[in-house]
Chains A and B, each alone.
Chain A
Amino acid sequence: MKRTAKQADDAGHFRRDWLSVLVPAAGALAAVYLIAAPLAMLIYAAFRGPADFLPFEDGAQWTLDNVIAVFTDPIMLGRVLPDTLIFVAGTVTLTTLMAMVLAWIVERTDLAARNVWFAIIIFPTLAPIVVKAIAWILLMSPNAGWANLALRGLFGWSGEGPINIFSMPGLILCQALATTPFVFLQLSAALRSMNPMLEEASRGAGASPFTTFRKVTLPVLLPGLLAPIILVTLITFEQFELPLIVGLPARINVFAFRIYNELNPASGLPNYGGAAAISLPFLALGLLALVAYNYAIRHADKFVTVTGKAFAQKRLPLGRWRIPAYAFMTIYVALSAVLPVGILVWTSFFGFTPPGKATWADATLAGYASFFSNPVFWRAVFNSFLVAGLSALIVTLLGGLIAWIVVRSKAPGRGLLDALTFMSLGIPAVIAALAVMVLYLSLPIGVYGTVWILVIAYSYRLATATRLSRATIMQVHKELEEASEAAGARWLTTQARILLPLLAPGLMSAFLLLFIIGMREFTIPFVLYSQDNVVLSVLIWQLFQGGQPAHSAALGTLMLLMVAPIIFFARRFLVARGSGD
C-alpha cells in the first residue's frame, strides 16, 4: 500500500478527485433521507401502540392492534374502499373520454383558433385545486350555485338543484375537469407525432373518419395512452382536496380523507398508529400502480410508429359535426376555466350576490383591502413563496444530481437509488405528510409546526425532477464532459462550467414546474398546518370555510395573478407546438 502511494507520487502526485465521490454520495444520502426515513417511520408507527401514542414515546409498545383494526373496520370495507374505487374509476373514465375527444378535435380537425383552445385547456393546471373547487361550489352548489339559479330561472323551476355538486357524480366531474389537461397534453403530443400516412392509408382503403379513428388511430395510440391513464389513476387515487371540499358534505369517504380524520378526530387525541396502519395498504396500491406505470412507459417507447418527430397533420373538415364539436369545446372550457375565473373575480367584488341581483353599489374592494392590514395574509404569501421556491430548488438540484448519478456515474447501488426516487411518485401526499409528521414529532429538532417541515415534506417529490433532468442529461453528449476532463479540468469544474450551463434550460423548466406544484400544494400544508406555517392555498380554504367568500375569492384571484406570469415561461416547454401550426 505504501509502495503504491510512493509510486503514485513518483508518477506525478495524482490524487483521487474526492469531490467527484463526495458530492454524489451526499446527494444520494439526502434523497434516501427525504424519502425513505419518513416511510420507515410510518411503517414503524403502524406497529406501535396504543393508538394515540407516538412510536417512540414512553409507554409505546409493539402491537398489531392498528393493523387488525383497519382490516376489521366495517367503515373501511363498507365505505372507504368502495368510495375510493368508484371515485378513481369514474374520474379516470371521464378524464380519458374528455381528453381523447378534446385532443382529437384540437389536433385533427379544422377547428378555428386551435392555439387559443389549446392554451385555455392547459391554463387551469396552474391554478390550485382549492381555488377551482371553491369556484365550482359557487357555480354548482344545489341552492345558490349560479348554474342552478340560471337553469331554475330559465325553466321556472323552484326548490334546489337540478345540479348537485355535493354528490359522487359532482365530485367525479370536478376531479375529471382538474385532471383532463394532463392527459390531453400527452395525447395531443402523441397525435401530433403519429405518422399521418397510417390514417391516410385507412381512409384510402375506404374507411370513414370515425372508423379510422376506431380501427387505426386508437390502437396505434393505445400503448402510449396507457402511461398517462395510469398516471391519472395515481393522481386521482391520492386526491385529498376535492374529496375534502366537495366530497365531505356528501359524506363521501375516500381513504385520503379517512387518514386525515384519524389525525383530527371529532373528539379525542390523534390516532397516529391508526392513520399509519390505514396508509399501508394504500401505499402498497400506489406503488403497485407505479410498477404498472413504469411498465407502460417502457413499452410505449418500443412503439415505433409514434416517434418524437412532429408530422404535418392533415386536418379533417368538421362538416356537420361542427356544431356538436364547438358545443363540446365551449361547455368544457366554460366549466374548466372561463366560468370558474369569472365567478371567482365576481365573488371577490360582490360576495355571494349573483349577477342580476347585484348593483354596482354592492361592489366592494373590502375583500382585497383587508389583506393589506392582515398579518396572516402576509405570512401566508411569504410562506407560500418560501416553501414552493425552496423546495423546488432543493428538488431540482437533488433530482438533477441523482439523474446524473443514475445516467453517468458507475456508482454501486445507483439502480436502487433510481428506484427509490421513482417511488416518490407513488406515495400519496396525505401519506407523505403523515409520515413526515410522525417522523418530526419523534425527532427532537424542533421543525414540527414551522415552515421548514413543509420544505422538507414538499421535497420528497424527487421523481419529477429526476425524470426531467434525466432526459436532458441524456441529450448532452458524454464527450462534451470528457473533453473538459481531457482539458485538465477537475470534476467540480467540469460540472460547473460544462454540464450545468448545458442543463440550465432543462433545470429551469423543472424548477418552474416544481414551483407551480408547490404553490398549488394543499394536502401537505393542510395536514401539517400550524399558525406559523399557513400557506395561501390553506388560507383560501379557511376563509371560505369561515364564511368570508369575498375574501377567499379575492385571495384566489390574487393567487391566479401570481402564477399567471409563469405561463409565459411555461409556454416555452408546455406548449411547444409544431412550427407548421
Chain B
Amino acid sequence: MLTVSSLQKSFATDQGRLNVIDDVSFDVPEGQCYALLGPSGCGKTTTLRCVAGLEEPDSGRIEIAGRVVYDSALGINVPTHQRPIGIVFQSYAIWPHMDVFENVAYPLRVARPRIPKAEIEQRVMDVLALVGMKDVARRPAPRLSGGQQQRVALARAIVRRPALLLLDEPLSNLDAMLREQMRKELADLIARIGVTALFVTHDQAEALSLAARVAVMHKGKIAQEGAPRDIYSQPRNVFVAEFLGASNILDGRIISSDGAQALVEVGAGQRLRAKTPLPAGSAIKLLLRPERLSVSLHKPVDDSLRAQVSSVGFTGPTVDCSLTLDGAPIRVVAPADTPIKAGDEVWLTPLDRNGMVLAA
C-alpha cells in the first residue's frame, strides 16, 4: 500500500549538509496503522513530509496505492495535491477564516471533477458525525478547543477518502487527560474506516497502543522495526531499549554460553543466566526492566542479583524503589505490598530471561 525504499534526505544548514533521513525503507500493508517512533529531531516529520510530497527527497522511491509518487531514478515527483492522501498536521492547521463545515468541505470543493453540492453537504455531515462534531458544524474555527481542532483536522483529512492517512504527532498538542481519550477515539476511528495510516510520534505509549507495526527511528535511520510487543520485549540495541521505557542498563560480560543461553557477569562478579546467541567473552549490556524484576528479602534462585535499597517511593498501586547494585543505580517498580524499606538488602530476579542481553 505504502512502500518507501532507500529514502534519503538532507538539508543545507550553516554547518553544511545535514543528513536528516538516511536510507529509510519500510512497507505499510493495506489497512494497517504504522508508526514512526523516535525522539524529537530524528527525522520522523521529514519522512512523513516526503511521503506527502511536501519535501522533495534527495533520492529513493515512494509508492502509494500502487502508484509511484516519487522515484529519483525515474525523475518522478508527483506534487502533493495529486497524491491520494489526507494529513493531520501537528499544529492541526485549521484555517481560521473558515468555520468547521467549510474546513472539512474544502478537500471536496477543490476536487476535480467537481462534486455536486448536495453530495458535499452529505459527506461532510457524515464525517462530522463520525468525529462527533456534527453539532458545531457552523462554529468559526478560532472558537474551537484543542480537542475539537484535532477532530476537525481528522475529519478534513479523511473526508475525501484518501488511500493513505498521514498523522504528525496527532495528540501532542492536547493535555494529558484529553490525550488519553483522543487516543482511544483515534484508534477506534482508524479501525472503523479501515484506512491505511502512517503516523509519527515521540510518545512510545501512543505508538505501541495505536500501531500494528512500529519503526523506531534514530538519527535518520530506522533502528528497529516490528510489532509493538516484539520491539518492546526484544529491543535490538540500547537506544531502542532506553527509548521504549525507563530501563536499567548494566555493563556485563558473557562468561560461558551454549549458543542459546549464557551466563552473564555484572557488577562485582554477580552472575545470572540469560537467553542470547552471543558467544562467550562478549562484552554486553544487560537490560533489566523496572517492572520485570521481582524483589525478595531471601535469595529465591541461585542466579538472583544482590542489591541495596536506598529509597522507596509509594505511588499507590506500586512502589518505586531506588537501589544500588554494586554501586550502580537501579530502579524497580514492585507491587505496593512488597515489604521493603530503605537500607534493606534484597534479591532481584528477572521475570523473563528473554531480550535481556544487548550487544554493547
Contacts and interface: CB of A to CB of B under 8 A. Distances in A.
Most-contacted residue by chain A among B80, B96, B156 (CB, 10 A): B80
A14 interface: yes
Interface stretch (A65-73, A153-161, A383-391, A483-491): A483-491
B176 interface: no
Interface residues of B, number: 35
Contacts of A502: 95-97
A481 to B, nearest CB: 8
A490 B111 CA distance: 10
B81 A485 contact: yes
Contact of A488 (B71, B74, B93, B111): B111
Interface in A1-43: 3-4, 7-8, 10-12, 14, 16-17
Interface in B55-74: 67-69, 71, 74
Interface stretch (B83-91, B128-136, B194-202): B83-91
B78 A486 contact: no
A29 to B, nearest CB: 24
B107 interface: yes
Contacts of A487: 81, 86, 106-107, 110, 156, 160
B277 interface: no
Interface in B143-167: 153, 156-157, 160, 166
Contact of A480 (B53, B93, B157): B93
Contacts of A567: none
B68 A486 contact: no
B82 interface: yes
A493 B110 CA distance: 8
B78 A479 contact: no
A100 B80 CA distance: 52
B288 interface: no
B328 interface: no
Given A14-B79, A479-B91, A501-B97, A486 B85 contact: yes
B75 interface: yes
B246 interface: no
Interface in A491-521: 491, 493, 497-498, 501-502
A572 interface: no
Contact of A489 (B69, B74, B110, B157): B110
A482 interface: yes
Contacts of A488: 81-82, 107, 110-111, 160
B52 interface: yes
B91 A477 contact: yes
Nearest to A490: B81
B149 to A, nearest CB: 12
A11 B69 contact: yes
Given A7-B76, A488-B111, A12 B95 contact: no
Nearest to B96: A502
B93 A482 contact: yes
Contacts of A16: 79
B285 to A, nearest CB: 40
Contacts of A7: 68, 71, 74, 76
B155 to A, nearest CB: 12
A12 B110 contact: no
Contacts of A497: 106, 110
Contact of A12 (B82, B153, B166): B82
Most-contacted residue by chain B among A3, A10, A16, A482 (CB, 10 A): A482
Q: List 10 A-B pairs, minimum CB-CB distance, nearest first.
A: A487-B107, A479-B93, A483-B93, A489-B110, A485-B80, A486-B87, A14-B78, A479-B89, A11-B68, A4-B75
21 contacts: A4-B74, A4-B75, A7-B74, A8-B75, A11-B67, A11-B68, A12-B69, A14-B78, A17-B79, A17-B81, A479-B89, A479-B91, A480-B93, A482-B80, A484-B106, A486-B54, A487-B107, A487-B156, A489-B81, A489-B107, A490-B81
